[in-house]
Amino acid sequence: MVSYHAVQSSNAQISTLIPGRLTAVFAGGTSGLGEYTLKSFAKYVAEPRIYFIGRSQEAADRIVKECQVLNPRGEYIFLKKELSLVQNVDEVCQEIMDREGPDGYINLLFVSQAMAYNTTVTSEGFMLPIALVIYSRFRFIINLLPLLNRATALRRVISVFLGGREGPVDIDDLNFKDGLSKPIKFRDQALSMMTLSMEVLAEQNPGVGFIHTAPGSVKSGIFREPGLINGTLRFLSWLALMLGYNLTPEEAGDRHLYYATSARYPSKAGAKSDVQVVPLCEGVDVSEGTDQSVGSGVYTPGPDGESWATDKVKECLARMREDGVPAKVWEYIEGEFVRTTGRVKIEARLETSA
């Protein structure tokens, strides 16, 4: 277990060991883990430049004011957008690229936009939960990877879901034609699509670290929709809180900042990537990755910072790698991007930012 004291000690070194401007993008940053980690980033980074995207202008105004108190040297840029559509994600990413210009960079991409049980189908043909968790998140990732690869200090992608609890993927049902009628299958497959796609991207981008977290019970608005299933999930979250299986918002944000900055979760290239990170604290080692090798470049830390994958999950993921599932999943996702937008990803324009 990585103690909270070790997390705080590591975070306290960020501004000294990685001085100057660090740029982060938070998709889904106006509530929950996105908001908590955004505030930790503002607090501990010397000169934070933060883009955060969401739907609530009221929440954004509050967060900007709070961040300005935490760190008046920071720049906090809210971009209002509904993120369930891939086309909308492209518009936001284009604006970020234009603002950053040809020499701009991103150090951290944090994606946490989500919706629990909901049967709505978007205009692009995706069920709303899977549109947000898979297509919206990975559209951000592949659009902004060029800016991540350009950074000289930190290159991390963090996706908040339930890493370490992956399950079988039905290659003949990657569009979830059963809908949400089989919630366990839906969850297990979506989790695996997340982790396996990260593994594909880590191979293609060995200088970027990819992290799929399972944060535990943390206050958020993901179960705010009405209905029996969401009501049950709200009750289970409350029960976890009462039993002590929870993190405060501050600790949750601090731990996710630690995932973003510590040498415990290196990219696949590791030390060869030649980027600044916070060195390991005494008694803390490099983490085991999703392929069971140390420092693999893709990680699924649980609430205590350790790999959350059970032996059953490790065996399941290993079988799917042997069967070529990661490449098939990623090919399918790219195909859906082409179907909805006509292109695999957007490209940065040549002009400089205004």
Say what the pLDDT of residue 239 is: 38
List the beta bridge partners of residue 98: none
- The 10s digit of each residue's pLDDT in 23-60 is 999 999 999 999 999 999 999 999 999 999 999 999 99
Q: Tokens 């369930």: give the residue.
A: 84
Q: Which two tokens stand for residue 175?
A: 């569009």
Please compute the mean of the pLDDT values over residues 112-120 and round it to a whole number.
80
Residues 178 and 80: their CA atoms lie apart, in Å, by: 32
Asked whether residue 263 carries a pLDDT value surpassing 50, the answer given is yes
Say what the pLDDT of residue 118 is: 75
Torsions phi, psi of 52, nearest 5?
-135, 140
- The 10s digit of each residue's pLDDT in 62-82 is 999 999 999 999 999 999 999
Asked if 278 and 18 count as a contact pair (C-beta separation under 8 A), the reply is yes
Residues 39 and 253: their CA atoms lie apart, in Å, by: 7
Please give the DSSP secondary-structure letter assigned to residue 270: G
Using alpha carbons, select from 324, 321, 273, 257 the residue that is nearest to residue 293.
Answer: 321
Kindly write down the DSSP assignment for every residue of 163-182, as one continuous string: TT------GGGTT-TTTTSS
CATH no. for 4-341? 3.40.50.720
Using alpha carbons, select from 332, 323, 300 the residue that is nearest to residue 191.
Answer: 300
Q: Would you state the torsion angle of the CA atoms of residues 303, 306, 308, 310, taken in this order, to the nearest 10 degrees?
A: -150
Asked if 148 and 109 count as a contact pair (C-beta separation under 8 A), the reply is yes
Q: Where are the domains of the chain?
A: 4-341
Say what the pLDDT of residue 235 is: 39
Residues 78 and 57: their CA atoms lie apart, in Å, by: 8
Percent of the chain residues past pLDDT 70, beyond the cut? 88
Say what the pLDDT of residue 115 is: 73
Say what the pLDDT of residue 220 is: 52
Residues 237 and 217: their CA atoms lie apart, in Å, by: 6
Torsions phi, psi of 56, nearest 5?
-100, 110
Asked whether residue 245 carries a pLDDT value surpassing 70, the answer given is no
Asked whether residue 17 carries a pLDDT value surpassing 60, the answer given is yes
What residue type is assigned to position 50 of the chain?
A: I
Q: How big is the CA angle at 133 (ends 248 and 122), to the nearest 5 degrees?
A: 130
What residue type is assigned to position 81 of the chain?
A: K
